[in-house]
């Protein structure tokens, strides 16, 4: 069962994050649910790269050649976390702009931009 649990947790996080986005009534809440979906991808990537009994791929104090987990997926994840935080900030700025334009941050109250 342990061999499938991380993938199941990643799928669950995607599903629950999407549920939050679909049923949200507040633009700020929606953006944070989007970051939950993103965290599912990090869990998935790290679960793919894990090797049972492996150490972290830092060879400052362990000799080169000990079993270590995959470093490439870690490199992808760590840059992605910082960049997605910036994109979240951009989405929050758009939510503030929408509030200014339409007077509410309820996604149901937004109309197409006109003029």
Partner 1 sequence: MIVLQTAVLFAVAIGGTAVVFAREPLRQAMVVGVYGFILALLFMVFQAPDVALSEIVICTVAIPIMILLALAKIREHEEESD
Partner 2 sequence: MSFRGRRALFLVSIPVALLVLVAAFAGLPDFGNYSGVYGRALNLIAVPQRHATDVVTAVNFDYRAFDTMGEEFILFAAVLGLAVVLRSMREEHRRASHEADEEHKFDEPSSLLRAFGVLLVGPVLVIGLYIVSHGAITPGGGFQGGVILAAALLIVFLAGEYLAMKFVAPHALVEFGEAAGAGGYVLVGFGGLVFAGVFFKNFIGLGDPAHILSAGTIPISNGAVGIEVAGAFVLLWTEFLDQALVIRGK
How far is residue 78's CA from residue 93's CA, in Å, rounded to a whole number? Answer: 24
**53-112 positions binding partner 2, by CB under 8 A:** 54, 56-60, 64-65, 68-75, 78-80, 82-83, 86-87, 89-90, 93-94, 96-97, 100, 108
Within 35-64, which residues bind partner 2 (CB under 8 A)? 47-52, 54, 56-60, 64
CA dihedral over 95, 101, 107, 112, signed as positive or negative: negative
> Smallest distance from the beta carbon of 41 to partner 2, in angstroms?
12
17, 36 contact by CB (below 8 A): yes
Applying CB under 8 A, the residues found at the interface with partner 2 are: 2-8, 10-11, 14-15, 18-19, 22-23, 25, 47-52, 54, 56-60, 64-65, 68-75, 78-80, 82-83, 86-87, 89-90, 93-94, 96-97, 100, 108
């Amino acid at each position: 069962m342990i061999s499938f649990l991380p993938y199941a947790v990643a799928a669950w996080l995607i599903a629950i994050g999407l549920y939050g986005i679909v049923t949200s009534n507040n633009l700020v809440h929606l953006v944070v649910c989007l970051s939950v979906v993103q965290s599912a991808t990090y869990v998935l990537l790290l679960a793919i790269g894990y090797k049972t009994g492996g150490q972290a791929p830092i060879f400052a104090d362990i000799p080169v050649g000990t079993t270590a987990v995959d470093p490439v997926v870690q490199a992808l994840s760590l840059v992605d976390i910082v960049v997605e935080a910036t994109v979240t900030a951009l989405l929050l700025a758009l939510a503030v702009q929408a509030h200014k334009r339409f007077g509410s941050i309820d996604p149901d109250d937004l109309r197409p931009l006109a003029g």
